[in-house]
Structure formats: C-alpha cells, structure tokens
C-alpha cells in the first residue's frame, strides 16, 4: 500500500510559472525524498530532507517538511518545458527498512 | 561512470512462466533495491539487499525472490507469473542502506504477461 499521497494528481502550467505539489504521509519518518520520473524512464533523485529539517533548497527546487502535519511540499520555480514529468515523494519509515513512494503528481509545463 | 543498468529492457511472458530480471548497481554501491511500478502508480517496494543479505521485504507473495551476488549485482525472480505481474520493474542502488541516502535508479525492465 502507498505510504504517501501526492496532491494534485495532475498539474498543468505555463512555462515560467511556479509549480507546487504536496505530499502527505502516514507514519513517522527518518527522511523524505523527492524524485522525478520522465515517461518510460527510471526515477531521478531531486532532493532529500531529514526529519529534523524544515526547509531545503536546491537550484530552482524548494522543499518544506512539516512533521507535525506529516506533509511536505515541492516548489519548482520558473518552470521549463523540460520539467514535464511525474514527481514522487518517498519516505523511509522509522521501523523496518522499507522505502515508500507516493502516488505521484504528473506535471505538464506548456512552452 | 555507468549508472544502474538493468536487463532485459523489455520482456513478454505468459501466465505460469517464471522470469529473471538482472541489475548492476553503480560501482561502489553495495545496496540494491527492487520496485514494481504498475502503470499510473508509484513504485512499490519489493526487496532491499545490502552486502548480499536481505535487509527489507515489501508486501509481495513468495513467488517473488531475489538475491545479491559478491559483485553486488542482483537478480529478481518471479515464479508462476500472473497477469497482474505486468509492470515496470525498477532496480535502485545506493552506497549503504536506505537511511539518509538517495537511491539511483535504472530505467527498468518492462514485463508484459499475456
């Protein structure tokens, strides 16, 4: 079963706009990671945020984590057509060694 | 450096057959994980191996098994294939176990069951 749920399921924006997608999860975590998947390809790691961190930046990416609400958000600023992909959050649960992926947000950036 | 490589890229099988999927991790990575991704969904964790030992197992039936070799490459075996096993099977490697480390994915094996 999925540990995380992304919202929205699909998002369509114009090039240059910002894209925000959210992730909610169910249990305590060690860290939360965001991945991108282009159609028919493997996943690419974007950013990792630890459970004791609240915000992290990497280039045009900004990730926030609210462990009290069990949620995270990924902001992509100044989007480009090349950002078109599916985005997944992934969590490592404190107990056990399982890595859970959410259901994904499909982002389309229109040139 | 080569990334994670998986073979074959595509595979067609019939119900009841078995299949072996292969994965070569990034050089120096000792951990390999396997995921099943059904169309339109996120990857589902199947197994993690580290230093040739199973370190994690997802909620999959015993028809699914895996192993890791001394060179850290890995195989995923699925017996008695069902139509529902049709999916993209992804392999990911990391330096150590999952904690606080990104995973590096291959492009997967697309398995179709007829």
Bridging pattern class, strands A43-50 and A29-37: antiparallel
The first and second tokens of residue B83, run together, are 């139509």
Distance between CA atoms of B49 and A100, rounded to whole angstroms? 16
Residue of A30, A35, A45 lying closest to B100 (CB–CB): A30
Distance between CA atoms of A9 and A106, rounded to whole angstroms? 6
Residue from A41, A43, A58 to probe the interface with B (highest B Cβ count within 10 Å)? A43
Q: Count residue pairs from A and B with Cβ separation < 8 A.
A: 66
- CB-CB under 8 Å, B44 with A104: no
pLDDT, block means (10 residues), chain B with 114 residues: 91 97 96 94 92 90 97 97 97 82 94 96
Q: How far is B1 from chain A (nearest CA, A)?
A: 16
Distance between CA atoms of A109 and A60, rounded to whole angstroms? 15
Distance between CA atoms of A103 and A110, rounded to whole angstroms? 23
B106 touches chain A (CB under 8 A): yes
Taking contacts as CB-CB distances below 8 angstroms, the residues of chain B near A35 are 105
B36 touches chain A (CB under 8 A): no
Q: What does the pLDDT read at residue A1? A: 47
If you write DSSP's letter for every residue of B44-97 in order, what string do you get? EEEEEEETTEEEEE-S--TTEEEEE-TTS-EEEEE-S--GGG-EEEEEEEESSS
Q: What does the pLDDT read at residue B2? A: 78
- CB-CB under 8 Å, A4 with B56: no
The first and second tokens of residue B67, run together, are 């192993």
Nearest residue to A47 via CA among B106, B103, B21: B103
B/e letters for A77-93, b = 16+ CB within 10 Å, e = fewer, are: eebeeebbbbbbbbbbb
Q: Are B103 and B3 in contact (CB under 8 A)?
A: no
Taking contacts as CB-CB distances below 8 angstroms, the residues of chain B near A41 are 107-108
**First-last CA distance in chain A:** 36
Q: What does the pLDDT read at residue A110? A: 97
Nearest residue to B48 via CA among B98, B114, B104: B98
Taking contacts as CB-CB distances below 8 angstroms, the residues of chain B near A40 are 107
Give the phi and the psi of residue B83 in degrees, each rounded to 5.
-55, -35
Closest residue in chain B to residue A95, using alpha carbons only: B56
Output the tens digit of pLDDT for each of chain A's 111 residues: 456 788 899 999 999 999 999 999 988 888 899 999 999 899 999 999 999 999 999 999 999 999 999 999 999 999 999 999 999 999 876 565 677 898 899 999 999
Q: Measured in whole angstroms, how far is the alpha carbon of residue A64 from the centre of its chain?
A: 10
Give tens-digit pLDDT for B103-113: 999 999 999 99
Distance between CA atoms of A66 and A54, rounded to whole angstroms? 6
Taking contacts as CB-CB distances below 8 angstroms, the residues of chain A near B97 are 97
Tokens 């060694």 sit at which residue? A97
B41 touches chain A (CB under 8 A): yes
Strand partners of residue B12: B112
């Amino acid at each position: 079963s999925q540990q995380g749920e992304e919202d929205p399921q699909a998002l369509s924006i114009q090039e240059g706009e910002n894209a925000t997608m959210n992730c909610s999860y169910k249990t305590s975590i060690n860290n939360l990671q965001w991945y991108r998947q282009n159609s028919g390809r493997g996943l690419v790691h974007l950013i990792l945020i630890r459970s004791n961190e609240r915000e992290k930046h990497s280039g045009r990416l900004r990730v926030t984590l609210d462990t009290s609400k069990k949620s995270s958000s990924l902001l992509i600023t100044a989007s480009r057509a090349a950002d078109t992909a599916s985005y997944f959050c992934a969590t490592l649960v404190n107990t056990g060694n399982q890595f859970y992926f959410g259901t994904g947000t499909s982002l389309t950036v229109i040139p | 450096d080569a990334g994670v490589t998986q073979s074959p890229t595509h595979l067609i099988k019939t119900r009841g057959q078995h299949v072996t999927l292969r994965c070569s991790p990034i050089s120096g990575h000792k951990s390999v994980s396997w995921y099943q991704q059904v169309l339109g969904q996120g990857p589902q964790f199947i197994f993690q191996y580290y230093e040739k030992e199973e370190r994690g197992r997802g909620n999959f039936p015993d028809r699914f098994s895996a192993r890791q070799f001394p060179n850290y490459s890995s195989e995923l075996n699925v017996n008695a294939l069902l139509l529902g096993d049709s999916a993209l099977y992804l392999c990911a490697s990391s330096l150590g176990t999952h904690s606080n480390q990104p995973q590096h994915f291959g492009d997967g094996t697309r398995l179709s069951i007829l």
